[in-house]
Amino acid sequence: MATQRKSIFITGAASGMGRETARLFAAKGWFVGAHDVNEAGLKDLQAELGAEACLIRRLDVTDREDYRAALDAFAPAAGGRLDILFNNAGIGRGGRFDKQPWEDIVAVVQVNLMGVLIGIYEAVPLLKATPNSLCFTTSSSSATFGMAGIAVYSATKHAVKGLTEALSVEFKAIGVRVADVLPGLIDTPILPPGAVAAAPKEGMWRAMPPSSVAQVVWEAYQSDKLHWYVPEEIAELDKAATLAPEAMREQMAQNSLFGDPA
């Protein structure tokens, strides 16, 4: 039982950003609900953090009934409170849009968008019951401007960013804060092999450790800031894409590997 400890419910907690967030919040004395489809990773995490600090459960975020059951199991263990819902689970499948398997397109939409919608919808009662609660979601730097090669992934992250903005207004009436993080290149298993080694050493596309996102989740709870960028330079990309989308389109096209229609 969490008794009076603050609590965080994390999806995609078995590895990468979710795992680092679980570690950080457990170290801060919070009760952690760690959820993922990777049961082996969850068991390893619980062994590291201790069962008194961490409740684990397999969760398919695309299954509304499963999500509801996970929250039902979490609530009594967390003393009926949910200080942060961290919608972090996501998958990345890319390629040229007209060459992608339809099943991959659907899977990306189901996990990256529907999983977020389900999670927020089902968690609202717990968030409302917890003073100063935060609904926090992982968006992406690809939500600044649609990115070739990951068009559907990018579209889902644009949707998450827009949802965050809308709910940040709506949820004021029920006392729930809403924010998101737009990470750039984060060294996690979602990246293709060799991506980190090939990344520049400086600038907005440098590889960042997953712990940098975990730190942002912690800072977001102490703040009323809406969008968080990792690294912070991604914010400049967001501004540029908004002010001059045509110029951004041409710049992206020049750097794209998807110009050949064959």
- Which residues are identified as catalytic? 153
Question: At which residue do the structure tokens 């990256």 appear?
Answer: 112
Sign of CA dihedral 192, 198, 201, 206: negative
Best CA proximity match to 70, nearest among 25, 106, 112, 115: 115
Say how many C-beta atoms besides its own lie within 10 A of residue 68's C-beta: 14
Backbone angles phi, psi at 232, to 5 degrees: -65, -25
Q: Cα–Cα distance between 20 and 154 in angstroms, integer?
A: 24
Locate all alpha helices (DSSP H) within the chain, ordered by sequence. 16-27, 39-49, 64-77, 102-109, 115-128, 151-170, 195-198, 210-221, 234-243, 245-255
